[in-house]
Amino acid sequence: MFLKIENIDTYYDATHILFGVSLEVAQGETVSVLGRNGVGKTTLLRSIIGLTPPRRGKIYFQDCRINGRQPFQIARQGVGFVPEDRDIFPNLTVKENLEMGVQKNSQRSGWDLDKIFRLFPILKERRNQWGGTLSGGEQQMLTIARTLMGNPSLLLLDELSEGLAPLVVRAIKEQILLIQKEGVTILISEQDSSFVLDVSSRSYILEKGQICWHGQSQELRDDPTVLDRYLGV
């Protein structure tokens, strides 16, 4: 299995957040993690990248045990994390921000400035502007693009659509579909199911730090009662 999470428990100090979470993502697949505010979606992604390592359980990436390794080591192995808070450098230009994403000595290749600019034409237009002058949606695209410059084979996307206008969300959705076509495996956390059910083949629903449902995204699209129950939409 490409990514395999076995029975993890994650804490912030004494606060127990994830309870025996297990999840799998196959190579080339896009999987979504859905759940209301505060159920532990971000914590799950932070557990994988090693920012908040689980205290119990195991995480395997490409059959290597990664929990216990440092975030930079996990990133070097090919896991890219796009955090919720659009973590760009405001005082660097768009092009410089992208260059910061390059991982030297990486065995993986595929993404360069030309390819990124084909996927995100707006970033090409803005390439000499300061990162801080971009709109929220453009900053979100820049964060995704910078992470792609590190040639991740697994991309962790945390609540991309938060606070963005529907038109921007639609553009980002199209970009995710193109990133999938490049063979990147994606795990995406979202509160807004309408956005992710169209891009993911399978979904997991988190409630109070536990997986309470998993199955085909199609099932959630066809039967809104499950979403009603767990997401209250």
Ligand X SMILES: Nc1ncnc2c1ncn2[C@@H]1O[C@H](COP(=O)(O)OP(=O)(O)OP(=O)(O)O)[C@@H](O)[C@H]1O
Contacts of 188 (CB under 8 A, 6+ apart): 30, 31, 32, 33, 156, 157, 160, 176, 196, 199, 200
Q: Indicate which single residue of 30, 43, 77, 203 sits in contact with ligand X (rule: CB under 6 A).
A: 43
Measured from the CB of residue 147, what is the shortest distance to ligand X in angstroms? 18
Site string for ligand X, 80-99 (x = CB under 6 A): ----x---------------
Measured from the CB of residue 219, what is the shortest distance to ligand X in angstroms? 22
Distance CA 164, CA 170 (A): 10
Q: Is 191 in the site for ligand X (CB under 6 A)?
A: yes
* Residues of span 44-83 touching ligand X by CB under 6 A: none
Nearest to ligand X of 21, 94 (CB atom): 21
- Picking from 119, 117, 126, the residue whose alpha carbon sits closest to that of residue 93 is 126
Q: Is 143 in the site for ligand X (CB under 6 A)?
A: no
Taking CB under 6 A as the binding criterion, the range among 11-19, 55-63, 65-73, 194-202 that sits at the site for ligand X is 11-19
Nearest to ligand X of 134, 160 (CB atom): 160
Taking CB under 6 A as the binding criterion, the range among 37-45, 56-64, 98-106, 114-122 that sits at the site for ligand X is 37-45
Distance CA 213, CA 209 (A): 12
215 forms bridges with which residues in the sheet?
Answer: 203
For residue 118, the tally of other CB atoms under 10 A from its CB is 10
Measured from the CB of residue 104, what is the shortest distance to ligand X in angstroms? 31
Nearest to ligand X of 32, 151 (CB atom): 32
Q: Tokens for 132?
A: 């801080």
Measured from the CB of residue 116, what is the shortest distance to ligand X in angstroms? 27
Distance CA 27, CA 18 (A): 24
- Picking from 6, 72, 1, 15, the residue whose alpha carbon sits closest to that of residue 43 is 15
Nearest to ligand X of 185, 189 (CB atom): 189
Block residue for tokens 């080591």: 73
- Picking from 5, 28, 9, 10, the residue whose alpha carbon sits closest to that of residue 201 is 28
The answer to whether the CB of 28 falls within 8 A of the CB of 80 is no
Q: Is 166 in the site for ligand X (CB under 6 A)?
A: no
Distance CA 26, CA 141 (A): 25
Nearest to ligand X of 15, 105 (CB atom): 15
Q: Indicate which single residue of 5, 25, 30, 42 sits in contact with ligand X (rule: CB under 6 A).
A: 42
Q: Is 38 in the site for ligand X (CB under 6 A)?
A: yes
* Footprint on this chain of ligand X (rule: CB under 6 A): 12, 15, 17, 35, 37-43, 84, 159, 191
